[in-house]
Amino acid sequence: MRKSHPVRRAVLAGAATVSGIVLLLSLKPASDPGSAQAAGGQLPPAAAGQAPQGGVNGAVTGDAAQTQYGAVQVRLTMNNGKISQAEAVQAPKGGRSDQITASSVPRLNQAVVAAQSADIDAVSGATYTSAGYKKSLQSALDKAKASAGSQQGSGGAQTLTGDVAQTQYGPVQVRVTVAGGKITKAEAVQAPKGGRSDQITSSSVPRLNQAAVAAGTADIDAVSGATYTSAGYKKSLQSALDKAPAGGGSSQAAGSGGGQAATQTLTGSVAQTQYGPVQVRVTVAGGKITKAEAVQAPKGGRSDQITSSSVPRLNQAAVAAGTAQIDAVSGATYTSAGYKQSLQSALDQAGG
């Protein structure tokens, strides 16, 4: 009888071992998200920044995001809680920026509609524009989410983030939680820092937070020794409260005669112009603009005269028209353009 060779036995044993390992691996259940979906398993919860699902309709404009090459601001059109259109109402311009904007913004717009969230890739060669776009986009989604929350009932909690208020010592930005028509929490997501500012911020901000909750409004006292921080805090706080939709409890509801007589005060996003920022606040009652005012406008030198002449006329035009479709004031082209842009932003918050 022929004797088996030791080397041959080793080869056969090795082959059997490899075959067994392959068989075991083929029976191992899938553990990655894609495989789980294919197998009918549940995916992880949706990531933050997803378009709100709550029947939200209308236009929502994000806050302007400042970049190294200019401001970027995104407006979304929502249809039953889904993003049906995205557009940049502000984008870097001039020189090389014109070409980059023309190439990148349409691709970013398309990506938003496809992704239904702010989780989109930056466009190659447009890093700063892409970053600003995503930041403003997230702001718009946050506003839409707040609006969706308010539509589910006045008892639901809303988180509202105010616009950044620039102070002599640094930016201040306030976020509030509103439930049942009351401020239940206030916090500063940005505050002056560095050197002496650290001590002032740590001392004053907690007191301002407590005062906001106690008062339920932005009508709070400044903290002694923190004048600039207090002023910035109150400004951003008012901006946050202005963003609460009608019926949410944090807008200034007035009125007699029920919901149609409710009054909202809405502050638009800051529009940057060649001569300075413009920001508009409107009061809306019964679906009509009853008051319009510029809380920021170009100032200094020749701008003082142009502002004092043009802004009252723009305010009157906004009330008369009831929309942002108003004529520019002759001799105040930049101020008029910024006014209309901020006005539209304010009206978008009301769903108008």
One DSSP character per residue, 274-343 reads TTEEEEEEEEEETTEEEEEEEEE---STHHHHHHHHHHHHHHHHHHHHSSS--PPPTT-HHHHHHHHHHH
| Bridge pairing between strands 165-167 and 82-90 | unpaired
Query: Is the model's pLDDT at 11 over the cut of 70?
Result: no
Q: Please name the residues in contact with 31: beta carbons below 8 A apart, sequence gap of 6 or more.
A: none
pLDDT digits (tens, 9 = 90+) for 124-154: 999 999 999 999 999 888 888 877 665 554 4
Pairing of strands 65-67, 58-61: unpaired
Spell out the alpha helix ranges (H) of 216-294: 227-242
- CA–CA separation, 258 vs 336, rounded Å? 35
Query: What is the 8-class DSSP label of residue 351?
Result: T
Q: In sequence order, what are the beta bridge partners of 158?
A: 178
Report pLDDT digits (tens) over 80-123. Answer: 788 999 999 899 999 999 999 999 999 999 999 999 999 999 99
Burial class from Cβ neighbours inside 10 Å (0-12, 13-18, 19+) for residue 280 reads buried
Torsion of CA 280, 249, 284, 81, to 10 degrees: 80
Joined together, the tokens standing for residue 142 give 């946050």
Distance CA 97, CA 86 (A): 20
d(CA 58, CA 81): 9
pTM of the model: 0.41
The closest of 58, 49, 59 to 341, measured between CA atoms, is: 59
Convert the pLDDT of each residue in 263-320 to its tens digit: 778 888 888 888 989 989 888 887 789 899 998 899 889 999 999 999 999 999 999 8
From CA 57, how far away is CA 75, in angstroms rounded?
A: 13
* Weakest mean pLDDT among 32-46, 120-134, 180-194, 214-228: 32-46
75 near 136, Cβ under 8 Å? Answer: no
For residue 223 the two structure tokens come to 């903290």
Q: Which residue has the higher pLDDT, 42 or 161?
A: 161
Compute the distance between CA of residue 209 and CA of residue 205 in angstroms, rounded to an integer: 6
Using left for φ > 0, alpha for ψ between -120 and 50, and beta otherwise, residue 143 falls in alpha
**How far apart are the C-alpha atoms of 229 and 165, rounded to whole Å?**
9
